[in-house]
Amino acid sequence: MVLSGCLLKVGVIGLSHKTAPLLFREEIAKGADALAGEKGRFFPHATVLLSTCNRTEVYFSADDLAQAHSDLLLFLRRHIKGAFEHRLYSYFNLDCFLHLCKVTAGLDSAVLAETEIQRQVKMAYARAAQNSSLPACLHFIFQKGLRVGKSARSKGNWRGAVSLPQTIWQIAEVFLDRMFSRKVLFIGYSEMNRTLISYFEQKGIDSFTLCTTNPSQVQVPYPCVDRSALEDWENFDCIICASLSDGYLIHERKGSKPHLIFDLSVPRNVNPELANIEFIELYNIEQLNHCIEGKQRAQIEECKRWEDSVRNHALRLARSYALRTSKVGMSGISGKGDDITDIFHACCKENESFESEAKTGVGNRSVLAQLQIPPIVGAV
- Residues serving a catalytic function are 53
End-to-end Cα, the chain, rounded Å? 36
Q: Are 160 and 214 in contact (CB under 8 A)?
A: no
* Helix, strand, coil tally for the chain in percent (to 5): 55, 15, 35
Question: For the sheet containing 10-16, what is the strand order?
Answer: 46-51, 55-61, 10-16, 89-92
> Which of 314, 316, 346 shows the shortest CA–CA distance to 97?
314
Q: Are 152 and 100 in contact (CB under 8 A)?
A: no
Q: Look up residue 179 and give its DSSP letter.
A: -
Greatest alpha-carbon span in the chain:
73
Q: How far apart are CA 189 and CA 206, in angstroms?
A: 17
> Which of 281, 272, 282, 277 shows the shortest CA–CA distance to 254?
277
Q: How far apart are CA 277 and CA 280, in angstroms?
A: 6
Task: List Cα–Cα distances, 127 to 79, 103, 258, 264, 339, in angstroms.
Answer: 21, 18, 41, 23, 22
Q: What is the DSSP string of 189-203?
A: --HHHHHHHHHHHHT
Strand intervals (E) in the chain: 10-16, 46-51, 55-61, 89-92, 184-187, 208-211, 224-225, 238-241, 259-263, 280-284
Q: Look up residue 361 and give its DSSP letter.
A: T
Task: List Cα–Cα distances, 130 to 47, 171, 230, 335, 342, in angstroms.
Answer: 12, 40, 35, 12, 20
Q: How far apart are CA 191 and CA 123, in angstroms?
A: 12
